[in-house]
A and B are shown apart, each in its own frame.
Chain A
Amino acid sequence: MTMPSPLLRFDGVICRFGEITAVGGVSCDITAGSFVALVGASGSGKSTLLKTVNTLVEPTTGRVLFAGEDVASLKPARLRRRVGYVFQGIGLFPHMSVAENIAIGPRLTGEKLGAERIAQLLELVELDPAMATRMPDELSGGQRQRVGVARALAGEPELLIMDEPFGALDPLTRDALGNKVRELHERLGLTTVMVTHDMAEALLLADRVLVMDAGRIVADESPCALLGGAGGDVAQGLVAVPRQQAERLAALEGLGESRS
């Protein structure tokens, strides 16, 4: 039996902006159905690498293959319909209603989404279908990002790429929406790549964690392996933060118990 061919392949990707090398040679495969977190400090090149997937950034050298095809050879509009994109800024169009925002991707390729499909998408992200007629400025931050996710899913994409999707949300919303996305990933059989600087989020949601540092992938491990000490210094430095926080919380809890 041969291995299934990867849905996404980075093949020697280098991105330079003038003197700065943002991505310094990344090769890696992402198999269909996996939930991959791309973790690193600010400036490690993770967002740039992600944006080569839907061609918002073109690699200086190297290729990105999506389902076996070089993304540079695909029409951007077609490609981006098959690749749902969610990012921290959300970027809902303020002059369009929720329904129009969700339907924009299919509309660009000449397809009209019916009210039923809009309602279905809103329900997917746990929003009241009655919100379809609202304008974005009437929504809370969390509701807006839910609409952002629904918009990314409207074209029935094979791949979902997310750039710090929950970075601007409060912790409760962030947790709820994270779990929701993981659930949708399972339910819809998606392949998901999520960029985050929060190792805890990566460990809890993903089944594979890529750690980037100075434009290179320095660790490629499962969450369990990372927690078990694998992945090297940079990765362990990132894992140490939530671990120490958890330990201090546990200690506080213990202190409280001993007092009572």
Chain B
Amino acid sequence: MGDIWDILPGLGDKLAAHVVLSASAIGLAMLIALPMAVWASRSPTVSRVALGLASLVQTIPALALLALFFPLLLSLRAVFGEGLPTLGFLPALMALTLYALLPILRNAVTAQANLDPEILEAADGVGMTKWQKLTLVEAPLSAPFIMAGIRTASVWTIGAATLATTIGQTSLGDPIFAGLQTQNWALVLAGCFASAGLALAADNLLWVIEVGLAKRSRWMTLGGIAVVMLGILAALWAQGAGTGERRIIIASKSFSEQYILAQLIGSRLEAAGYSVEYRDGLGSAVVHSAVASSAIDISVDYTGTIWTNYLNRKDNPGREAMYETIRDWEMRENGVRVLGRLGFENAYAFAMRGDRAGELGIVSLTDLGGVAPQLTVGGDPEFFERPEWVAVRDAYGLRFARNRNFAPTFMYNALQSGEADVISAYTSDGRIAADKLVVLEDPEGALPSYDAMLMLSPRIAGDAGVIAALEPLIGAISVEAMREANLAVDREDAEKLTPKAAAAELAKTIGI
């Protein structure tokens, strides 16, 4: 765990981005919630509707709320043009602002409702206008309670901002998500410590302001505000210092292989003199659209994924035809350049323990059909809903005794312990080799191919320098090499590598 102290100092840019994002969201939420609270205090209907809507937003999980802004902004491009960002800061800001509204609004409305009616009568009695009453009496008397709401909102927002990582906004969630996927717990803890520390610091600073307001101590109030402002300014400055020419942004979905390939691509580009940025742990659904919109420049995607999810095809014309159709479709529809296939597949496959397969004499899916009624099949949670399963089931007449769902990590354990006899594995998974599993042959070609492809956004589709730097990767990575690299990151023992180190090893293995 000593690693945490080595990781923390490197999180400066994540921290700065996290501070700027959270502060912007809370500031925007205040700009919306405070006037709304004044309006609500004048009208019970407005109060009910505003609080109702804000509460409704709270019932949406933060992760879903963040993800929902991507399609929303995408559809808004029809109105605001192609320049509207769909990933990164804007959707994160909007989602977190909505999330921060409730505590600010509720405290402000409650504070106004609980003001002493005699003091309000006195305000009218001495001849205050509505505005004077608001600024001289209602606002100062409500201020400590409103501040308490802002404090709550800040702690929530700083916590929820770690999820902004999933929609491509740099935050302290980056190390958390990367660490979770590669089972690098020091990285996870470093991210958690940093965001918890930031939340505590913000909570305490705002508490000073709240007490200052309650005790009418100008010194405490202004001092607290000054420190908060300094923190935000420092974060802005730190962020501004880093931005120069636009960098090349490389995406990775949230599993080890994607982290490794992103690092491999990044190191190639850096060697060629480009500066790069990583957007790690993106949701699978956003990556494709992000590349199409040039919000992200480079991704590795899989033919089977694009085929079913974006071309909406269910047929299987064969590996080559599928790839060529996708390549042409991407260029025609999205302006995305498919530079080529990396050489390996990360397809669904059926795997068994070597000894068990030998016992039963199973080599292919055809053999499996005969003994399936005595066996249990395990799949990841979505597998039995996917067209691949339907295709294989029907092609080989598979009728298992039981179908069981496992989280991907536990699928392999289930196979070892005998809770499942056969599982839906991923062909590039390192554990296939490590656990000495047999991948069953598919003579009917029922399983679609999942060739890994290198995708370039329209922005860099014609960039000769980028293409020259990445072309050596095309066709260079065998499934064995990829499995070895994945295993190096996934393993739990002393030989465990970071994705960056595994990428360097992979580069050596494939000789580039």
A residues in contact (CB < 8 Å) with B:
54, 56, 76-81, 85, 87, 89-95, 104-105, 108-109, 151
Q: Which B residue sits closest to A95, measured CB to CB?
A: B140
Q: Add 18 more A-B contacts to A91-B118, A92-B122, A93-B136 (CB < 8 A).
A: A56-B125, A76-B124, A76-B129, A77-B127, A77-B128, A78-B127, A81-B127, A85-B126, A87-B118, A91-B122, A91-B123, A94-B141, A95-B141, A95-B216, A108-B128, A108-B129, A109-B127, A151-B126
Q: List 23 A-B contacts (CB under 8 A).
A: A56-B124, A56-B125, A76-B124, A77-B129, A78-B127, A79-B127, A80-B124, A80-B125, A85-B125, A89-B118, A89-B122, A91-B118, A91-B121, A91-B122, A94-B119, A94-B141, A95-B140, A95-B216, A104-B126, A108-B126, A108-B127, A108-B132, A109-B127
Interface size on B, residues (CB 8 A): 20
Q: Which residues of B contact A93 (CB under 8 A)?
A: 119, 122-123, 136-137
Q: Which B residue sits closest to A97, measured CB to CB?
A: B216
Q: Which A residue sits closest to B126, measured CB to CB?
A: A105
Report the bound CA distance from A91 to B120 in whole Å: 8
| A87: contacting residue among B121, B132, B140, B216, CB under 8 A | B121
Is B122 a contact partner of A76 (Cβ separation < 8 A)?
no
| B125: contacting residue among A78, A87, A94, A95, CB under 8 A | A87
Is A90 a contact partner of B132 (Cβ separation < 8 A)?
no
Q: Which residues of A contact B126 (CB under 8 A)?
A: 80, 85, 104-105, 108, 151
Is B127 a contact partner of A90 (Cβ separation < 8 A)?
no
Q: Which B residue sits closest to A78, measured CB to CB?
A: B127
| B119: contacting residue among A78, A91, A108, A151, CB under 8 A | A91
Closest 3 CB pairs of A and B: A91-B122, A89-B118, A80-B127
Q: Which residues of B contact A78 (CB under 8 A)?
A: 127
Contact mask B125-156 → A, CB, 8 Å, 1/0?
11111001000110011000000000000000
Report the bound CA distance from A108 to B119 in whole Å: 16
Q: Which A residue sits closest to B129, measured CB to CB?
A: A77
**Chain A min CB distance to B286 (Å):** 49
Assess A90 versus B124: contact at CB under 8 Å? Given A95-B141, A95-B216, A108-B132: no
| Listed residue (B126, B137, B141) with the most chain A CB atoms within 10 angstroms of its CB | B126
Q: Which residues of A contact B132 (CB under 8 A)?
A: 108
**Chain A min CB distance to B123 (Å):** 8
Contact mask B438-458 → A, CB, 8 Å, 1/0?
000000000000000000000
**Chain B min CB distance to A151 (Å):** 7
Q: Which residues of A contact B122 (CB under 8 A)?
A: 87, 89-93
**B90-123 with Cβ < 8 A to chain A:** 116-123
B residues in contact (CB < 8 Å) with A:
116-129, 132, 136-137, 140-141, 216
Q: Which residues of B contact A105 (CB under 8 A)?
A: 126-127
Report the bound CA distance from A91 to B124 in whole Å: 10
Q: Which B residue sits closest to A80, measured CB to CB?
A: B127
Is A90 a contact partner of B118 (Cβ separation < 8 A)?
yes
Report the bound CA distance from A81 to B132 in whole Å: 15
Is A56 a contact partner of B121 (Cβ separation < 8 A)?
yes
**Chain A min CB distance to B361 (Å):** 87
Report the bound CA distance from A93 to B132 in whole Å: 13
Report the bound CA distance from A80 to B126 in whole Å: 6
Q: Which B residue sits closest to A154, measured CB to CB?
A: B126
Assess A54 versus B125: contact at CB under 8 Å? Given A94-B119, A108-B132: yes
Report the bound CA distance from A54 to B122 in whole Å: 12
**Chain A min CB distance to B422 (Å):** 73
Q: Which residues of A contact B128 (CB under 8 A)?
A: 77, 108
Report the bound CA distance from A93 to B141 in whole Å: 9
**Chain A min CB distance to B121 (Å):** 6
Q: Which A residue sits closest to B141, measured CB to CB?
A: A95
Q: Which residues of B contact A89 (CB under 8 A)?
A: 117-118, 121-122
Q: Which residues of B contact A77 (CB under 8 A)?
A: 127-129
Q: Which residues of B contact A79 (CB under 8 A)?
A: 127
Report the bound CA distance from A91 to B117 in whole Å: 9
Report the bound CA distance from A85 to B119 in whole Å: 13
Report the bound CA distance from A232 to B216 in whole Å: 55
Q: Which residues of B contact A108 (CB under 8 A)?
A: 126-129, 132
Q: Which residues of B contact A90 (CB under 8 A)?
A: 118, 122
Report the bound CA distance from A237 to B124 in whole Å: 35
Report the bound CA distance from A151 to B128 in whole Å: 14
Is B119 a contact partner of A76 (Cβ separation < 8 A)?
no
**Chain B min CB distance to A107 (Å):** 9
Report the bound CA distance from A114 to B140 in whole Å: 24
Q: Which residues of A contact B127 (CB under 8 A)?
A: 76-81, 105, 108-109
Q: Which B residue sits closest to A76, measured CB to CB?
A: B127
**Chain B min CB distance to A111 (Å):** 12
Report the bound CA distance from A24 to B362 in whole Å: 101
| Listed residue (A76, A81, A91) with the most chain B CB atoms within 10 angstroms of its CB | A91
**Chain B min CB distance to A104 (Å):** 5
**Chain A min CB distance to B158 (Å):** 30
Report the bound CA distance from A94 to B121 in whole Å: 14
**Chain A min CB distance to B118 (Å):** 3
Q: Which residues of A contact B129 (CB under 8 A)?
A: 76-77, 108
Q: Which residues of A contact B140 (CB under 8 A)?
A: 95
Q: Which B residue sits closest to A89, measured CB to CB?
A: B118
Report the bound CA distance from A104 to B137 in whole Å: 11
Q: Which residues of A contact B125 (CB under 8 A)?
A: 54, 56, 80, 85, 87, 91
Report the bound CA distance from A192 to B302 in whole Å: 89
**Chain A min CB distance to B119 (Å):** 5
Q: Which residues of A contact B120 (CB under 8 A)?
A: 91
**Chain A min CB distance to B183 (Å):** 55
| Listed residue (B117, B122, B123, B129) with the most chain A CB atoms within 10 angstroms of its CB | B122
**Chain B min CB distance to A124 (Å):** 17
Q: Which residues of B contact A92 (CB under 8 A)?
A: 119, 122
**Chain B min CB distance to A114 (Å):** 19
Report the bound CA distance from A76 to B141 in whole Å: 23
Report the bound CA distance from A87 to B116 in whole Å: 14
Report the bound CA distance from A85 to B116 in whole Å: 18
**Chain A min CB distance to B46 (Å):** 22
Report the bound CA distance from A104 to B141 in whole Å: 16
Report the bound CA distance from A151 to B122 in whole Å: 10
Report the bound CA distance from A133 to B389 in whole Å: 81
**Chain B min CB distance to A105 (Å):** 5
Report the bound CA distance from A144 to B141 in whole Å: 19
Q: Which A residue sits closest to B122, measured CB to CB?
A: A91
Report the bound CA distance from A89 to B115 in whole Å: 14
Q: Which residues of A contact B116 (CB under 8 A)?
A: 91
**Chain B min CB distance to A118 (Å):** 15
Q: Which B residue sits closest to A88, measured CB to CB?
A: B118
Q: Which residues of B contact A94 (CB under 8 A)?
A: 119, 141
**Chain B min CB distance to A237 (Å):** 30
Q: Which residues of B contact A56 (CB under 8 A)?
A: 121, 124-125
Q: Which residues of A contact B117 (CB under 8 A)?
A: 89
